Amino acid sequence: MIRTEAEAWRTYESMREVVFDTETTGLDPFQGDRLVEIGCIELINRFPTGRTFHSYFNPERDMPEQAFKIHGLSAQFLLDKPRFAARVEELVGFLGDAQLVAHNAMFDLSFLNAELERAGYTPLGRDRIVDTLLLARRKHPGSPNRLDDLCARYAIDNSRRTKHGALLDAELLAEVYIELIGARQAQLILSQTAAPIRVTGEPIVLRERPAPLPPRISDEERAAHRRFVASLGENAIWRDYVSLD
């Protein structure tokens, strides 16, 4: 049971994940390549809350043609965008202590850490990272596991993805991640009528309970949950299911 604001915050952070993606000028942050875009999606208990962080950055250098063909971000487009240092505090605040989810995560993490160190901030630890590429390779060995391949496998609409874009890719990856870890509980449909299910040839009949079980959640716990949902912001999906009155 949540008893204090500090305990509520620790519970909130323990359930929080941030799915993120980056776009860059190239492949190696130690050879002068820079971060030019980052997109972040907040998940609470594996559900998107509607909170995001997105920014383009002026890399203070040219844009190689090969990189431009991937994401379509030209040096001219990025010229009036903020430098990474101008938004680093906001970004670090958004990431907080959350677990970080990315596809081919070491690539994104290397660029993000290079920019953080350049701005005088502590780099992020690898222990905070979940790599969906590794998850996909374990779950689908021998299959192609690019983001587009996984969207096709899980019937996730990626028709807007004509070029790489950090926020769109983070949104798609959040859906892929939920599928990879089997957390798509919202799609479960439970039968409302008795129906036989056969397991190894033996029928199992599902029956409705004649009387509902007594509630196990106290009024204090319900109030604490409503306060927690209220703290998530106006776009939080949980507000559709919890009355805050």
Residue 167: how many CB atoms within 10 A of its CB? 19
Domain layout of the chain by residue ranges: 5-187, 196-240
pLDDT value, residue 226: 79
**DSSP symbols for 148-213:** HHHHHHTT---TT-SS--HHHHHHHHHHHHHHHTT--GGG----SS--EEEETTEEEE----SSPP
Q: Which fold has domain 5-187?
A: Nucleotidyltransferase; domain 5 (3.30.420)
pLDDT value, residue 123: 97
Find the helix or strand (DSSP H, E) in which 69 lies: helix 65-71
- Tally the C-alpha atoms within 13 A of residue 91's C-alpha that lie toward its C-beta: 28
- The encoded tokens of residue 131 equal 């790599």
Q: Is this model's pTM higher than 0.85 or not?
A: no
pLDDT tens across the length of the chain (245 residues):
444 555 554 555 568 999 999 999 999 999 999 999 999 999 999 999 999 999 999 999 999 999 999 999 999 999 999 999 999 999 999 999 999 999 999 999 999 999 999 999 999 999 999 999 999 999 999 999 999 999 999 999 988 887 789 999 999 999 999 999 987 654 444 444 444 444 445 555 556 667 777 777 778 888 888 788 777 777 666 666 666 66
- The encoded tokens of residue 142 equal 């021998």
pLDDT value, residue 72: 94
140 is known as an active-site residue: no
Catalytic residue among 54, 71, 164, 225: 164
